[in-house]
Amino acid sequence: MLVQGKTYRTIRFKDHQKNSIEIIDQRHLPHRFALETLSSSAEVIRAISEMQVRGAVLIGAAAAYGMVLATREAAREKNPNRYIHETAKQFKAARPTAVNLAWAVDRLEQAILVGNTPEERLTLAHTAANALVEAELVACRKIGENGLPILRALFEKRPRQPVNVLTHCNAGWLACVDYGTATAPIYAAHAAGIRVHVWVDETRPWNQGAKLTAWELAQQGIPHTLIADNTGGHLMQHGMVDLCIVGCDRATARGDVANKIGTYLKALAAKDNHVPFYVALPLSTFDLTLQDGIKEIPIEERGAEEVTKITGWTEKGFQTVHLAGPDTPAANYGFDVTPARLVTGLITEKGICAADSTTIQKLFA
Amino acid sequence: MLVQGKTYRTIRFKDHQKNSIEIIDQRHLPHRFALETLSSSAEVIRAISEMQVRGAVLIGAAAAYGMVLATREAAREKNPNRYIHETAKQFKAARPTAVNLAWAVDRLEQAILVGNTPEERLTLAHTAANALVEAELVACRKIGENGLPILRALFEKRPRQPVNVLTHCNAGWLACVDYGTATAPIYAAHAAGIRVHVWVDETRPWNQGAKLTAWELAQQGIPHTLIADNTGGHLMQHGMVDLCIVGCDRATARGDVANKIGTYLKALAAKDNHVPFYVALPLSTFDLTLQDGIKEIPIEERGAEEVTKITGWTEKGFQTVHLAGPDTPAANYGFDVTPARLVTGLITEKGICAADSTTIQKLFA
């Protein structure tokens, strides 16, 4: 997508030899657009755990590329297989909730271990990582195409008004490689001449909405309004939201969806106010080994200081300020689970489907 | 209640002559405990609109005391009645949602205008303001006594565990003159030896929870944990909340309640997870002229900069940082309305009652 009019992806190999990876360091947005080079698998793991890159699809893509670096590193090790396996484990432990991470790492590990020589393994790693990333790219584009009719139908009902979409967190192109998941139908609608306005939840405590979603929508010229996470229910009560679209970090076989903490509250408000609530996700985000998302999906707990302090921009650069007293205890759960009964539909690269076991099973047939 | 072990009220006349009012400037908490003197009705109006004092009961009390200052000022005016009436209007316009403000101002104005001489009017103003403030104080204490059995019953079910209460915003003693509304049953329970732990919603965008509720609970020695507003649904899904208690800024005749934005989302989650959801309020917070809270209660809209920027504490003092890009549009609705159907009960100074017209009517009989 566009950054200051120029096309970017969130991640790419920097050189033809694939010795290093270039990412957008998302911790500095929207105040500074900074690219960063990662030259080892350890650096990629740290970039994932410290949220320089984040979002289910993007951390899968970063781990796939990181496993290519690990393959090269393994050639210098006494026990390359063990190195690859240990590195794969470290990748998977970097963030626990999004299933795309483990999915990508497992696929890469399997592909790599088929090779006999270091050169063969490197070629296999390259091919597998590229295939995975390109497939995710196509999946996101298709999520856009498949979600477009929902926005078109709402627009045609009231063609003089923009379609008001509420989204939570950032499931935009910054969370993927390009297009985004939740934003893909919005970008597709905008390109098709449909007027869209997006209510952007700021998404405490990490503020992905305020930092990332608002910024990426502005870069593509999509009208939007930033709101505190508390606001969505009021807007829905007053008919100011036509549609919710959110992303997903892990979906179960029966259609329960883990997404950024607070998503469940918006799904409840949508249900209470008859607002359609869609979840956009590629098939790689399904974990068909799980049924009951609330009981079974592991929820990441992060540091209390992400709640008690915040870093923002001042004339003198970034500054961290205390929001609470120095001894205030805080808890920081990263995700919550929205039960399938609150989900109007799942927008996938294979089409829109209901959030139930039978329909989901057919996606994978 | 206690501040560093010493007893305070949130507001008092500073001198025997009632020429000035002393308040706690709540904008500096929890980082600095600062008292401020207000010496004119205009200063009191500004303190209300700029949220140096906030909370339904406290802004009512501040306006009552402020009308005493206005009465003295009126004596120096050519047209004292007009001055009193204009000042009353300005008080009522300072914050639109909480009904206690208009209620207190109207009561004071009526009391004042009965007097014929400036001295008589000043005496009447003093008496009326004191009566109003003392009545609110007693109401809050009784809300505590009336809410206590709810916490006791929960504690007796599982006596080794603390009762986990979730609250939103600050309906503590800082929002009142003393005791608080939502916190009054918590303080009463704590005093009665019942173990309580409070989940404190930070309450964006103004962060009354992070700044005020966490601080006042800490000062009274009540265990608590600060959370992002997004978190409550997840906690309730996992059985980590036994009870919600919130305050109220205006309740209608049928029991719809306006409270800080985001309250409605917590009420939905409580309903979905069978967690009791109580609203604590004195009778002064009812507006019996209204029925449908969503349609009829005016919702304050505040400046976008309260969403896009935040002020916090650093080693060098207070610092304001940008949370969003400089051109990001934002909306800032201060309150939302929770429909009566989501309210388990109303805790008032006259007892606990159901949120329905017939029961509410009996409170006023």
- pLDDT given for residue B328 in this prediction: 98
pLDDT the model gives residue A159: 86
Cβ within 8 Å, pair A227-B313: no
| Interface contact flag, A319 B323, Cβ < 8 Å | no
Q: Is residue A221 a contact partner of residue B319, using CB atoms and an 8 Å limit?
A: no
- Checking if the pLDDT of A334 tops 90, the result is yes
Question: pLDDT for A135-149, tens place per residue?
Answer: 999 999 999 999 999
Of A268, A299, A321, which has the smallest distance from its Cβ to B321's Cβ? A321
Query: B37 CA to chain A: closest CA distance, Å?
Result: 24
CB contact under 8 A, A269 and B264: yes
Averaged pLDDT, A305-320: 96
Looking at residue B12, its pLDDT comes to: 96
pTM to 2 decimal places = 0.96
> Which residue from B minimizes the CA distance to A261?
B230
List CB contacts (< 8 A) between B310 and chain A.
310, 312, 321, 323
> What is the pLDDT at residue A175?
97
Strands (E) across A17-119 are located at 21-24, 35-38
Return the pLDDT at B103. Answer: 96
The pLDDT assigned to B17 comes to: 80
Residues A276-283, mean pLDDT to the nearest whole number? 98
* pLDDT tens per residue, range A53-105: 999 999 999 999 999 999 999 999 999 999 999 999 999 999 989 899 999 99
Closest Cα to residue A230, out of A258, A206, A199? A199
Does the predicted interface ipTM exceed a cut of 0.90? Answer: yes
Cβ pair B116, B326 in contact under 8 A: no
Out of B233, B262, B294, the one facing A264 most closely (by C-beta) is: B233
* Alpha-carbon gap: B143 to the closest alpha carbon of chain A (Å): 27
Among residues A211, A224, A143, the alpha carbon closest in space to that of A177 is found at A143
Q: What is chain B's pLDDT, residue by residue, as a tens digit (365 residues)?
A: 999 999 999 999 998 888 899 999 999 999 999 999 999 999 999 999 999 999 999 999 999 999 999 999 999 999 999 999 999 999 999 998 989 999 999 999 999 999 999 999 999 999 999 999 999 999 999 999 999 999 999 999 998 899 999 999 999 999 999 999 999 999 999 999 999 999 999 999 999 999 999 999 999 999 999 999 999 999 999 999 999 999 999 999 999 999 999 999 999 999 999 999 999 999 999 999 999 999 999 999 999 999 999 999 999 999 999 999 999 999 999 999 999 999 999 999 999 999 999 999 999 98
From the list A191, A194, A197, A167, the residue with the least C-alpha distance to A181 is A167
How many beta-carbon pairs under 8 angstroms link A with B?
217
Nearest residue on chain B to A269, alpha-carbon basis: B265
Strands B345-348, B277-280: parallel, antiparallel or unpaired by DSSP?
parallel
The pLDDT tens digits for A211-248 are 999 999 999 999 999 999 999 999 999 999 999 999 99
Residue A16: its pLDDT value, please? 80
What b-and-e string marks burial along B158-186, b requiring 16 or more CB atoms within 10 Å of the CB? eeeebbbbbbbbbbbbbbbbbbbbbbbbb
DSSP tag of A21: E
Residue by residue, what is the 3-state secondary structure of A305-346?
Answer: HHHHEEEEEECCEEEEEECCCCCCCECCECEEEECHHHCCEE
CA-to-CA dists, residue B304 to B229, B278, B326, angstroms = 19, 31, 11
Q: Under 8 Å CB-to-CB from A43, ≥6 apart: which residues?
A: none
- Partner-chain residue, chosen from A230, A324, A333, that has the shortest CB–CB distance to B204: A230
Q: What is the pLDDT of residue A15?
A: 83
3-state secondary structure of A111: helix
C-alpha B325/C-alpha A28 separation (Å) is 11
Place of tokens 């970008």: A187
Q: Quick one: how many helices (H) and strands (E) in chain B?
A: 13, 18
> Chain B interface, mutation test: which of A200, A222, A231, most B Cβ atoms within 10 Å?
A231
Token pair 């009353």: residue: B88
- For B203, name the nearest residue in chain A, comparing CA atoms only: A230
Inter-chain residue contact B331 with A227, CB threshold 8 Å: yes
Q: Which pLDDT does position B208 carry in this prediction?
A: 97
Give the mean pLDDT of A355-360: 97
Phi, psi of A189 (to 5 degrees): -65, -45
Query: For residues B312 and B318, is the Cβ–Cβ distance under 8 A?
Result: yes
Active site residue B249: yes
Q: How confident is the model at residue A17 (pLDDT cuts 50, 70, 90)?
A: confident
DSSP SS3 for A298: coil
pLDDT on residue B134: 97
CA angle A75-A78-A84, nearest 5°? 55
